[in-house]
């Protein structure tokens, strides 16, 4: 389908959306992805951020980060998108050393049973609306404790483990 047909389809699609949905669609079109930062008022204050638009923009899974400052998580997602534009493939176990100063972030695949609205509502909506299909590709960016240990390591700081629930399979060899 040519660009003009796609553009016309986008206009029709956009007219049926509410204000929040239009903002997501417009942000993806303008910047490549929309980032939702969510604070759960019923939790201990932990937050998460996730992308909307990675499959469309960079043909990569959507990205979720849990348990850090909202601005930092947003920057991590934006930086990940730029890395993908420069050739990074997001797959289970990939290490990224440029997202957090002095720490390596590990990409972990999220199984489809953990791609749930509680964590990824707008991304699920966007993919269904865009393609008619369920969102099936998501990765979690997992950050270490101050000693470089990850939640799957037996000696990882308990606060780090609590701050970022594992949507991925626990074993790094999964």
* Per-residue tokens: 85: 């534009």
Per-residue pLDDT averaged across 117-135, rounded? 95
Question: Shortest CA distance to 77 belongs to which of 34, 23, 127?
Answer: 34
Is residue 122 over pLDDT 90? yes
The domain spans of the chain are 33-163
* Per-residue tokens: 4: 């003009």
Summarised one tens digit per residue, pLDDT across range 35-74 is 999 986 666 667 999 999 999 999 999 999 999 999 999 9
**Residues 138 and 64: beta-carbon distance below 8 Å:** yes
Summarised one tens digit per residue, pLDDT across range 127-168 is 999 999 999 999 999 999 999 999 999 899 999 999 999 999
- Distance, in Å, from the CA atom of 165 to the CA atom of 65, rounded to the nearest integer, reads 10
What does the chain come to in residues?
174
């Amino acid at each position: 389908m040519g660009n003009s047909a796609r553009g016309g389809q986008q206009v029709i699609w956009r007219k049926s959306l509410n204000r929040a949905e239009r903002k997501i669609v417009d942000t993806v079109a303008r910047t490549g992805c929309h980032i939702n930062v969510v604070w759960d008022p019923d939790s201990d204050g932990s937050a998460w951020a996730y992308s909307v638009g990675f499959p469309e923009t960079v043909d990569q899974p959507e990205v979720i980060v849990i348990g850090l400052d909202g601005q930092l998580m947003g920057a991590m997602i934006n930086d990940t998108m730029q890395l993908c534009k420069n050739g990074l493939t997001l797959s289970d176990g990939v290490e990224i050393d440029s997202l957090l100063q002095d720490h390596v972030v590990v990409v972990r695949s999220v199984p489809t049973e953990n791609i749930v609205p509680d964590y990824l509502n707008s991304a699920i909506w966007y993919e269904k609306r865009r393609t008619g299909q369920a969102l099936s590709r998501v990765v979690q960016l997992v950050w270490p404790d101050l000693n470089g240990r990850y939640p799957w390591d037996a000696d990882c700081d308990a606060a780090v483990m609590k701050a970022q629930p594992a949507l991925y399979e626990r074993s790094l060899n999964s």
